[in-house]
């Protein structure tokens, strides 16, 4: 019987890399738009990049990690004024002379030349429609997010409606939104706001085709300033991964696709 020589390590490495590349290409994070795919790239915490037909949108760009792979934006949306939402350096690095920047009123002192969108205001910016949606607390207490201070946004792009909630509970203004295709919802906000059940109830009210949770690991952010921070306790004693499982479980049978993404690199 003829012996078959086993493949070399170099050959196996090449095959494995090819399979990985095929897997990545097959699972590209996207939804279908009118003229092709709308690519969705979660970056960090609440920072998201969309790209459609050569048009790039950045939401809450934050350069706490290397974002050199992020693309120069035609439109930047900023939901709130803290640095992990409004990073002036990241905004400058992802802007050119044609970039439009939309902010909430609370960011005007940091970006005096940006377009201010008030809660409920409908704008056409860089040729696309943007609606500013109220983002605020129901459960009161620090850290506070008062009504009228910050924004969520509904962005119409490529025949789809994307909702970036910012930091909010599922307030009446959010529940009133219609025809949302892709929703980004915060979870695990301190003081028991937007628990997995509450975030899932919000997703059920919106009925998007696809939902992402973001802004859900507050301890990761706190450790940037204090690496020795021991961590906080989430309602029910859950870990962050367990909250993602709980959120997914709450959506079981709804037909809403929950997409997990790695918003927090090691």
pLDDT in tens, 141-184: 999 999 999 999 999 999 999 999 999 999 999 999 999 999 99
What band does 266 get if pLDDT is binned at 50, 70 and 90? confident
Tell me whether residue 161 is in a domain.
Answer: yes
Whole-angstrom distance, CA of residue 180 vs CA of residue 209: 8
Where do runs of H (alpha helix) occur along the chain?
Answer: 9-26, 88-93, 172-175, 196-206, 218-225, 240-250
Tell me whether residue 63 is in a domain.
Answer: yes
Task: Indicate if the pLDDT at residue 19 is higher than 90.
Answer: no
What band does 255 get if pLDDT is binned at 50, 70 and 90? very high
Quote the crossing angle between the two packed helices 196-206 and 240-250, to the nearest 10°.
40
Whole-angstrom distance, CA of residue 176 vs CA of residue 227: 40
Whole-number pLDDT of residue 197: 98
**SS3 state of residue 111:** coil
Whole-angstrom distance, CA of residue 160 vs CA of residue 245: 27
Whole-angstrom distance, CA of residue 210 vs CA of residue 27: 15
pLDDT in tens, 59-117: 999 999 999 999 999 999 999 999 999 999 999 999 999 999 999 999 999 999 999 99
**SS3 state of residue 210:** strand
Tell me whether residue 94 is in a domain.
Answer: yes
Q: Is the dihedral of CA 123, 185, 193, 219 positive or negative?
A: negative
Tell me whether residue 125 is in a domain.
Answer: yes
Tell me whether residue 266 is in a domain.
Answer: no
Task: Indicate if the pLDDT at residue 262 is higher than 50.
Answer: yes
How far is C-alpha 82 from the geometric centre of its chain's CA atoms? 16
Tell me whether residue 15 is in a domain.
Answer: no
Residue 78: which domain range?
30-258
Q: What is the DSSP letter of 192?
A: T
Tell me whether residue 92 is in a domain.
Answer: yes
Tell me whether residue 148 is in a domain.
Answer: yes
Best CA proximity match to 96, nearest among 126, 124, 51: 126
Q: Do residues 125 and 74 make contact, with C-beta atoms less than 8 angstroms apart?
A: no
Mean pLDDT across the chain, nearest whole number? 90
CATH of the domain at 144: 3.60.15.10
Whole-number pLDDT of residue 1: 41
Number of domains the chain is built from = 1
């Amino acid at each position: 019987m003829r012996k078959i020589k086993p493949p070399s390590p170099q050959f196996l490495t090449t095959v494995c890399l090819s399979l990985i590349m095929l897997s990545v290409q097959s699972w590209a994070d996207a939804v279908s738009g009118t003229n092709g795919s709308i690519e969705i790239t979660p970056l960090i915490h609440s920072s998201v990049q969309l790209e459609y037909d050569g048009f790039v949108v950045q939401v809450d760009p934050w350069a706490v990690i290397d974002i050199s792979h992020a693309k120069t934006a035609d439109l930047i949306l900023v939901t709130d004024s803290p640095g992990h939402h409004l990073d002036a350096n990241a905004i400058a690095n992802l802007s050119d002379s044609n970039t439009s920047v939309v902010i909430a009123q609370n960011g005007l002192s940091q970006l005096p030349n940006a377009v201010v969108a008030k809660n409920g205001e409908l704008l056409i910016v860089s040729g696309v429609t943007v609606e500013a949606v109220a983002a605020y607390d129901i459960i009161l207490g620090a850290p506070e997010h008062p009504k009228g201070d910050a924004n969520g946004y509904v962005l119409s792009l490529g025949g789809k409606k994307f909702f970036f909630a910012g930091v909010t509970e599922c307030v009446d203004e959010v529940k009133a939104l219609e025809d949302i295709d892709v929703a980004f919802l915060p979870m695990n906000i301190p003081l028991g706001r937007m628990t997995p059940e509450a975030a899932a109830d919000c997703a059920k009210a919106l009925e998007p085709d696809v939902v992402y949770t973001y802004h859900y690991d507050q301890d990761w952010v706190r450790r940037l300033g204090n690496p020795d921070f021991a961590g906080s306790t989430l309602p029910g004693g859950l870990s962050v991964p367990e909250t993602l499982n709980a959120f997914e479980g709450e959506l079981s049978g709804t037909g809403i696709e929950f997409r997990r993404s790695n918003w927090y690199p090691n």
